[in-house]
């Protein structure tokens, strides 16, 4: 079992993978996508700075929230390259998600509250659709699940 020493300035791909819980293949993918960076040794081995661990955690958490990699890349580009990001740096970029997350939360709450009744798709296939969407009135508002997409 490879351990990342508490005082290590850099990590191998194996150490970063074990400490982050992310497969080496995913770390290589993140690097190809410009989400993380490494330096190469004279033997062409990857070495990641210790703060890459936090970036990987940020990427994984963002992915779990459904945020696309392109958006994650844009936000990570706001972090400084010349130094380890501070708590304030992370707080600043986390604010980029606030509005999007609030919208996602409202959408998920509407889904939870209406899923067993009707998802507002205008399908008229459920008995309750005739009551909650008579004559497919929601179609006038546009395509898709109108109650879920909201305004």
Predicted confidence (pLDDT) per residue in 36-67, tens digit: 999 999 999 999 998 899 899 999 988 988 88
Closest CA to 49 of 33, 38, 35, 34: 38
Tens of pLDDT, residue by residue over 100-149, are 889 888 888 877 776 665 555 555 555 566 666 677 777 788 777 666 66
Closest by CA to 54, choosing from 93, 110, 108, 97, is 93
Provide the β-strand partners of residue 10. Answer: 49
């Amino acid at each position: 079992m490879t351990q990342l020493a508490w005082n290590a300035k850099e990590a191998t791909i194996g150490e970063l993978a074990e400490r982050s819980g992310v497969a080496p293949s995913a770390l290589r993918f993140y690097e190809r996508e410009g989400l993380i960076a490494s330096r190469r040794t004279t033997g062409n081995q990857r070495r990641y700075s210790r703060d890459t661990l936090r970036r990987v955690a940020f990427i994984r958490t963002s992915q779990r929230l459904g945020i696309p990699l392109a958006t994650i890349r844009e936000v990570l580009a706001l972090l400084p390259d010349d130094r380890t990001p501070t708590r304030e740096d992370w707080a600043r970029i986390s604010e980029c998600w606030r509005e999007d997350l609030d919208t996602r939360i409202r959408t998920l709450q509407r889904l939870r509250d209406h899923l067993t009744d009707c998802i507002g798709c205008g399908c008229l296939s459920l008995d309750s659709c005739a009551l909650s969407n008579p004559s497919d009135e929601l179609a006038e508002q546009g395509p898709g699940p109108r109650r879920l997409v909201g305004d």
